[in-house]
Amino acid sequence: MSSIFLRIYGGLLFTLVLVAVLSGLALTIINGVRLQEFRESAARGTFRIMSMELESASEARWPALLERWENLLGIDLTVLPATESVLGNQTRNQLDAGRVLVRDGDSDNFEIFTAINDDRLLRGSISDLNEQLATGTGAMIRDWLDSIPPARRILMLKDKGPELFAYPVSLLSSMPDTLSQRQRVQLEQGYAIAMFNQSGRSMDVYSRLAGSGEVVRIGPMSMLDPYPFKLLATIALFVLASVSIAIYVLVRGLERRLSKLERAAVRLARGDLDTRVKLHGGDSVGQLAAAFNNMASHIQRLLSIQKEMIRGISHELRTPVARVRFGLEMVADAESQGERESYIKGIDGDIEELDHLIDEILTYAKLEEGVPDIRFQRMDVESIAARVVDEHQRTKSNVAVEYIPSRMLDARRRVDVEERYIHRAVQNLVSNACRYADSKVEVRFSIGHDNCRIDVEDDGPGVPEDQRERVFTAFARLDDSRTRASGGYGLGLSIVRRIMHWHNGKALVTTSERLGGARFSLVWPRRQRGR
């Protein structure tokens, strides 16, 4: 399951990094737009007052006015012909509508544009919105109000104030009590003063009208907060939503795949042995699905083998049991001691046959039920094959069994095998060959670069090509005879194939080129994995 968690953690980590990058990018873009709007709103009143004064004054006075404002505000001012402006037609239309536009300039400066008339633009180059600009704006608004008759000032602020200024502008009848004595003196001397509030996020600008003694208050003018609560809360919600969606997508996909696996397990438990899970991937769920499919295939195969064994065993047991019953009846009816001993001897042979059948069945079942206890050892396989041949030569048989030596060095003949099972496999092949051979059986052992091979050939009738796969099926015979003359129970070759399966090899049958009968071959690796 570790790969599942690694996949989830990897997906979450990627999501967090992606969300962090997107959040930082969004914060940068949003703050850029906010800074643009803040600069436009802060400079709107100042530049609109300057454009109105320039529009009402003659062009001869413009240089003096510009110089005065530059000293007052601490910025560079330039009058540009509208035809020489770098601004586009759309921007020009916005200026004609009375807007003040801000554009990034060289280095850290930014430029502010406003229209004077149809032919002229006022451009200011500003490095920062500082206190001098604020106090200079206060002095300009004071001078503008001084030029208006006292009776119309409040009305003018109500009418023109919202259009000109993005911040409150009001007239006070006297100096506020919050001003210090020094600040009062500065106001009386004609200076404009700026006062920041305790949080430092806003300020008020005060300037005193010369004639009436009224005080112009500008503000509170809010400073730009790059990380306001609402913006941070919005980004936090975006991060939480993104991570939640990522978790949902990852867990939902995992849950959907596990649900498929669960449904398949339920169908398999209900007896649908054809159930398979169509899940792919190299993660733990994909590996679990592959293991489930292998398990289902193995269970289906075992049950199929079990059914075949039940049918085959019932058929194989019927004949010897019937002979035993017949023999017992004949013993009861025997008239002499010689007849009884003959029948008892026949019964003993039938019981021995049953014992051999049970041994074959148990061996086959053990090889089919799962992973048998196989302990590979490096051994001389030629000596094992020669020993099997020697055992058959000592039996009374009309068939000559001959081992053909390989003439290889002793060290080269040593390969990884399980001695008991290889001995059993060669023994079954030799017994099968002797059963069907006319007069001769030959056994050979050979070895190549990666594989080794044992061939058992006979001079019998051979195996038809279309029946060569069927001979390795349990309880299968190529004839209908079930007598002891034909021999066997149809399990010997099945056991051979299963032994080769657990040796990572294969058993096959072809035609013997030397003797003309069947050639059964065992082929398996010289070196087993994990050794």
What is the per-residue pLDDT across 494-507, written as a single tens digit (0 to 9) for each?
888 888 888 888 88
Instruction: State residue 455's pLDDT score.
Output: 92
What are the structural domains, with CATH classification, of the chain?
2-222 (no CATH), 372-531 (3.30.565.10)
- Give the tens place of pLDDT for each residue, 375-394: 888 888 888 888 888 888 87
Tell me the C-alpha distance between 195 and 485, whole Å.
Answer: 122
Cis before 168 (ω within 30) = no
Instruction: State residue 522's pLDDT score.
Output: 92
Tell me the C-alpha distance between 79 and 58, whole Å.
Answer: 13
Tell me the C-alpha distance between 325 and 317, whole Å.
Answer: 12
HSE toward the beta carbon, residue 525, CA cutoff 13 A: 11
HSE toward the beta carbon, residue 260, CA cutoff 13 A: 17
Instruction: State residue 90's pLDDT score.
Output: 59
Instruction: State residue 204's pLDDT score.
Output: 86
**What pTM did the predictor assign?**
0.46
CB atoms within 10 A of CB 239: 16
Instruction: State residue 193's pLDDT score.
Output: 86
The contacts of residue 193 (CB under 8 Å, 6+ apart) are 135, 138, 179, 183, 186, 187, 205, 206, 207
Residue for token pair 């907060």 = 225
* 4, pLDDT greater than 60: no
Q: What is the mean pLDDT of the chain?
A: 79
More confident residue, 189 or 522: 522
Give the residue-averaged pLDDT of 235-243: 82
* 484, pLDDT greater than 50: no
Give the residue-averaged pLDDT of 146-150: 82
More confident residue, 224 or 203: 203
3-state secondary structure 473-490: CCCCCCCCCCCCCCCCCC
CA-to-CA dists, residue 318 to 106, 311, 325, 482, 483, angstroms: 106, 11, 10, 11, 12
Angle, helices 229-269/2-56, rounded to nearest 10 degrees: 150
Give the residue-averaged pLDDT of 444-450: 86
Highest mean pLDDT among 159-173, 245-259, 269-283, 413-427 belongs to: 413-427
* 66, pLDDT greater than 80: yes
Q: Of 18-27, 38-47, 433-442, 485-494, give the lowest mean pLDDT range.
A: 485-494
- Give the tens place of pLDDT for each residue, 251-307: 787 788 888 888 888 888 888 888 888 877 767 777 888 888 888 887 887 777 677
Q: Of 62-76, 107-121, 315-329, 402-416, give the lowest mean pLDDT range.
A: 315-329
Q: Per the structure block, which two tokens stand in for 97?
A: 């509508």
Q: Pseudo-torsion of CA 302, 304, 309, 315, nearest 10°?
A: 170
* 353, pLDDT greater than 80: no
Rg (CA), the chain: 52
More confident residue, 335 or 290: 290
* 311, pLDDT greater than 70: no
* 1, pLDDT greater than 60: no
What is the percentage of the chain residues whose pLDDT exceeds 70? Answer: 84
Tell me the C-alpha distance between 301 and 262, whole Å.
Answer: 22
